[in-house]
Amino acid sequence: MAIRTTNISSLKKIKIETYLEVFETISELPKDIQELMNKAQQARENAYAPYSHFRVGAAIRLTSNQITIGSNQENAAYPSGLCAERVAIFHTGALYPNQEIKAIAISASSSSQVLDEPIGPCGACRQSMAEYEQKQKSPIAIYFMGETGKIVKVASVLDLLPLGFDAKYL
Ligand code: THU
């Protein structure tokens, strides 16, 4: 797993490795994750994306096995909109503050091209997801894809955000 903070000690150079698992199609995913990715694809349909025409759906699996969802919600005042991943994770935190998150599936599509490669979450969403991982003290697996094609899995948000900002610095 990637590291949250560096133990810099006397080292002058540090190599950070990230581990990704690549699945060729949804049918290669474990059954519970197939279901989760299908929910993320359905959630995409409820995106409100009149400005970008870029639709993202995210689905979250809790340890209770419940699934929650989110999609990107845009606004005419552009920065007021929010990404699918943060809609999903904040919605989950608001509804189920004491439940652990096991996995998040993300799928993106665009009206201007077929997205057939994995689309990773933006930096702000990585930061937000990392906080929930830290809060629950157990890793959250992230699976992401475009509209079709391969799916990338990371076992922890930290694999997408090494050296992220951490509440312990506050
Ligand atoms: N978007 C997401 O929902 N998730 C991301 O990780 C990146 C971008 C949304 C925000 C905006 O509504 C649209 O995609 C284009 O940036």
Mean pLDDT of each 10-residue bin along the chain, 170 residues long: 58 87 98 98 98 98 97 98 98 97 98 97 98 96 98 97 89
**CATH number of 57's domain:** 3.40.140.10
d(CA 84, CA 106): 8
Catalytic residues: 85
In ligand 1, the atom with minimum distance to the C-alpha of 74 is 12
Please report the atom of ligand 1 found closest to the CA of residue 84.
3
Query: Is 157 part of any domain?
Result: yes
pLDDT number for residue 122: 98
Q: What does the DSSP 8-state code read for residue 137?
A: T
What is the structure's pLDDT at 4?
56
Q: Is residue 13 part of a domain?
A: no
Reported pTM = 0.94
Q: What pLDDT sits at residue 2?
A: 57
Residue 168 lies in a domain: no
pLDDT given at position 167: 86
Domain-embedded: residue 5? no
Q: Give a yes or no: residue 59 inside a domain.
A: yes
Q: Which of 46, 88, 38, 45 is nearest to 68 (CA)?
A: 88
Report the separation in Å between the CA atom of 57 and the middle of ligand 1, taken as the mean of its atom positions: 10
Segments forming the whole domain that contains residue 131? 21-162
Domain count across the chain: 1
Give a yes or no: residue 25 inside a domain: yes
Residue 51 Cα to ligand 1 middle (Å): 11
Is residue 14 a part of any domain in this protein?
no
What residue owns the CA closest to ligand 1's atom 2?
Answer: 83
Choose one of 52, 55, 56 to mutate for the ligand 1 pocket test, by most ligand atoms within 8 angstroms of C-beta: 56
Q: Take atom 1 of ligand 1 and give the residue whose Cα is closest.
A: 83
Q: From atom 13 of ligand 1, which residue's Cα is the shortest distance away?
A: 54
Cβ contacts of 151-154, under 8 Å, gap ≥ 24: 151/22, 151/23, 151/25, 151/26, 151/28, 151/29, 151/37, 151/118, 152/20, 152/21, 152/22, 152/23, 152/118, 152/120, 153/20, 153/21, 153/22, 153/23, 154/18, 154/19, 154/20, 154/21
Tell me whether residue 71 is in a domain. Answer: yes
